[in-house]
Amino acid sequence: MTEPQPPQTQQQPPTGDAEGLRASSSNGAAPLVPPASGQQSQSRVSAQAMPRDYQYYREVFRGQQMPFAYLDLDLLEENIRLTRDRAGGKRIRIASKSLRSVAIIKHILAAESTFQGIMAFTAREAAYLARQGLDDLLIGYPTWHEEDIATVARATAEGAHITLMVDSLAHVERIETIARRYGVRLPLCLDIDMSVDFPGLHFGVWRSPLRTVEQVRPVIARIMSSPHVWLDGIMGYEAQIAGVGDRYPRQVLKNALVTWLKRRSLREIAARRSALVALIREYAPQVRFVNGGGTGSVHTTRLEDCVSEITVGSAFYGPALFDHYRDFRYQPAAGFAIEIVRRPHPQIYTCLGGGYVASGAAGRDKLPQPYLPEGAQLITTEGAGEVQTPIRYSGSIALSLGDPIFLRHAKAGELCERFTHLLLVRNGTVVDSVTTYRGDGQCFL
């Protein structure tokens, strides 16, 4: 596959990166270009009347080569505010997998003091982020390969704070062996299972085997007795609340069932988490954090006293899957554009590219969602194609060859695996362009 190239038209603003962004904040993170005085006059679209409609974005991006991905900073800021408010005073750890751009991660960390620390997704990514000046990196998933653990050990020796995830004696013993070899003491986080079983249904994800006091006790005892590791935190991710929508159109029964299952499992999650945290604190009273939740569960995770921080990532880009939750609505801040290159039927506009399908159980909800013009649809028999995507549209806007169709990825950070840059929009203007991990030449998962 040909990697989409950064747009290089005349309107292309200077490429920003972690270093190149203007102004820096007290925690070292760099806010993206602030609304500059006089910027209004450069805008091709009035900042007053700003409906995020097709005409708005078509005008904003006129002349850009497609496909491109973008981030609407005005909407990102609304998502940042909403996340802060929903958290009700709990700290927020940023899920880097759902952002995959160092500049954007730094921007969000700088925006609010509520945002502290990062949940990384691999050891190599965590070491990469440490080299970019980011700190308090929790790897959200276990690390097994010797060289990956060694990467964390070396980064630790150089002063990085990277916490490894464990859920078994095997994990602890392997990390211990490598920590001993490097002469470091590595911080660990214990992952406890938050799934709930109903008759005939495992409601949650298959991750940690640690559910009961009996299962946790030997692992925690082993950590506490080791001179090469120490317990930094506890994590329990209630994926069945955080990652399962309960307001899908035309799915009344399923929505009602999921809502009921969520309500039932919340009680068990809270009881199990507080019992396990209490046990672990008997062994390790100084444990630094108790992490829980995700974008879809902020409002319930925050109610648990024993939780000190909530992980959030997807909320910031506001991808399509998060349109289907009863209790909140984020702004569609990130999207991408594909170019109409042919018109095989008066109401079908075939575009170049577009097949950026999300991970997870395969289904229509993992396809990118046509966003603008309103009423644009994928065609069931073709979906989003490897090189061409036909879009059905019969609305009132006149579309021509060369016009964009705007889509949203079903998930958040995976969008950035398809693009080297994100064009940043503010007040009707493309104000900057920042690299994604791919644009930095990085590919972790």
Ligand X SMILES: Cc1ncc(COP(=O)(O)O)c(C=O)c1O
Residues lying near ligand X in the complex (CB under 6 A): 95, 98, 119, 140, 237, 242-243, 294-295, 311-315, 412
Our CA angle for 351, 352, 355, nearest 5°, is 95
Closer residue to ligand X, CB minimum distance, 405 or 412: 412
Candidates 282, 162, 272, 278; CA nearest to 221 is 282
**Contact between 119 and 295 (Cβ < 8 Å):** no
Helix (H) or strand (E) holding 69: strand 68-72
Tell me how far, at minimum, the Cβ of 346 lies from ligand X, in Å: 40
Please name every residue paired with 434 in a beta bridge, in sequence order, or none if there are none. Answer: 16, 422
**Contact between 389 and 339 (Cβ < 8 Å):** no
Cβ burial 54-92 (10 Å sphere, 16+ → b, else e): bebbbebbeebebbbbbbbbbbbbebbebbbebbeebbb
Closer residue to ligand X, CB minimum distance, 33 or 412: 412
| Complete DSSP assignment for 314-383 | HHHH--GGGGS-SS------EEEEEEEEEEEETTEEEEE----PPSSS-SGGGSPEEEESTT-EE-TTT-
Tell me how far, at minimum, the Cβ of 95 lies from ligand X, in Å: 4
Tell me how far, at minimum, the Cβ of 313 lies from ligand X, in Å: 3
Query: Which residue is listed with tokens 């038209």?
Result: 9
Tell me how far, at minimum, the Cβ of 151 lies from ligand X, in Å: 20
Which of helix, strand or coil describes residue 290?
Answer: strand
Closer residue to ligand X, CB minimum distance, 115 or 393: 115
Tell me how far, at minimum, the Cβ of 99 lies from ligand X, in Å: 8
In 96-243, beta strands by DSSP E: 115-120, 137-142, 162-166, 186-191, 196-198, 201-203, 229-236
Closer residue to ligand X, CB minimum distance, 96 or 433: 96
Tell me how far, at minimum, the Cβ of 207 lies from ligand X, in Å: 8
Cβ burial 248-270 (10 Å sphere, 16+ → b, else e): eeeeeeebeebeebbeebbeebb
What CA–CA distance (Å, rounded) separates 227 from 352? Answer: 57
Closer residue to ligand X, CB minimum distance, 104 or 338: 104
Candidates 331, 312, 309, 310; CA nearest to 320 is 331
What CA–CA distance (Å, rounded) separates 269 from 283? Answer: 22
Half-sphere exposure (Cβ direction) of 80: Cα atoms closer than 13 Å: 20
Return the biggest CA–CA distance within the chain.
Answer: 72
What CA–CA distance (Å, rounded) separates 17 from 273? Answer: 40
Tell me how far, at minimum, the Cβ of 129 lies from ligand X, in Å: 16
For ligand X, which residue has the nearest CB?
294
Tell me how far, at minimum, the Cβ of 322 lies from ligand X, in Å: 8
Closer residue to ligand X, CB minimum distance, 67 or 318: 318
Tell me how far, at minimum, the Cβ of 275 lies from ligand X, in Å: 20
Closer residue to ligand X, CB minimum distance, 403 or 414: 414
Which of helix, strand or coil describes residue 390?
Answer: strand
Tell me how far, at minimum, the Cβ of 317 lies from ligand X, in Å: 9
Closer residue to ligand X, CB minimum distance, 143 or 226: 143
Closer residue to ligand X, CB minimum distance, 330 or 419: 330
Closer residue to ligand X, CB minimum distance, 76 or 430: 76
User: Could you count the other beta carbons within 10 Å of the beta carbon of residue 17?
Assistant: 19
